[in-house]
Amino acid sequence: MNKGSTNSRTLFIADLHLSAERPDITAAFLRFMQQEAPQADALYILGDLFEVWIGDDNPEPLLTQVASATKALADRGVPVYFCHGNRDFLLKKRYAAKAGITLLAPATVVDLYGHPTLLMHGDSLCTLDLGYQKFRSWWNQPWWQWLILATPLWYRQHLARKARRVSAKDKAGKSSDIMDVTPDEVPKVMDMYGVQRLIHGHTHRPAVHQILLANGHSGQRYVLGDWYQQSSYLEVSATGWQLHFSALPD
């Protein structure tokens, strides 16, 4: 990951929500993969790369297009790591192998140029959203995932459409505070993993937050942006950490 060069950098993205309905986001992703990612030490995708994932057996052309882009990057010597989000938690080893990506644990600590850093999608930090956390506890169960993936593809497509409608309705009835991370949960988790830096997505609120940890030290929480209105990535190097934003293609 850390090559030691003064030009070394690692890139992080999340919440692209790629779908056939948004070719502009797909175009922005492919542009990013061709222009920005090849110069990186590594690329980390922290969940919700896709709007919905109904199984590795889905023949949708978009999935092959994305897999070709990530595999090409990996073949050039830039490792691609993937942390599941709440939209693509059913992505499994079959697609990962095709796409040349390495699957990460839900919470992973990596060394970024001398800084141990916790990586996660971020939904587990939203503990005030009790309804969502209850559902999350279900879909994290291997038996539940096996049961869903054992159903026919057409039925999973039906479930996905229904889930998107329910999710949109559910979000409309919740306050923004409930859907954001719980402030007290952040330092607790960072202390648990012994880190002073955290990178996550999920909330669609790109920012850098200062965190007071239990040991009295100051920590930083880096929140990745979604790609609905603009592309967004975090660049980490030995000399700085910076969020970047670019306009989507016309």
pLDDT tens, position by position, 147-206? 999 999 999 999 988 887 877 666 665 666 667 999 999 999 999 999 999 999 999 999
pLDDT score, position 4 = 46
Which 3-state string (H, E, C) describes 22-86?
CHHHHHHHHHHHHHCHHHCCEEEECCCCECCCCCCCCCCHHHHHHHHHHHHHHHCCCCEEECCCC
User: pTM, whole model, 2 decimals?
Assistant: 0.93
pLDDT tens, position by position, 56-106? 999 999 999 999 999 999 999 999 999 999 999 999 999 999 999 999 999
1 has a pLDDT exceeding 70:
no
pLDDT tens, position by position, 127-136? 999 888 998 9
Vertex 168, ends 167 and 171: CA angle to 5°?
Answer: 85
Q: Please name the residues in contact with 140: beta carbons below 8 A apart, sequence gap of 6 or more.
A: 89
Residue in 84, 203, 57 with CA at minimum distance from that of residue 140: 84
Amino acid at 51: E
- Strands 107-112, 101-103: parallel, antiparallel or unpaired by DSSP? unpaired
CA 94/CA 157 separation, integer angstroms: 19
Residue in 245, 217, 234 with CA at minimum distance from that of residue 112: 234
Q: Where does the pLDDT of residue 3 fall: very low under 50, low under 70, confident under 90, or very high at 90 and above? A: very low
Both tokens assigned to 74 = 């990996």
* CA distances to 2, 55, 88, 160 from 164, in Å: 39, 16, 13, 6
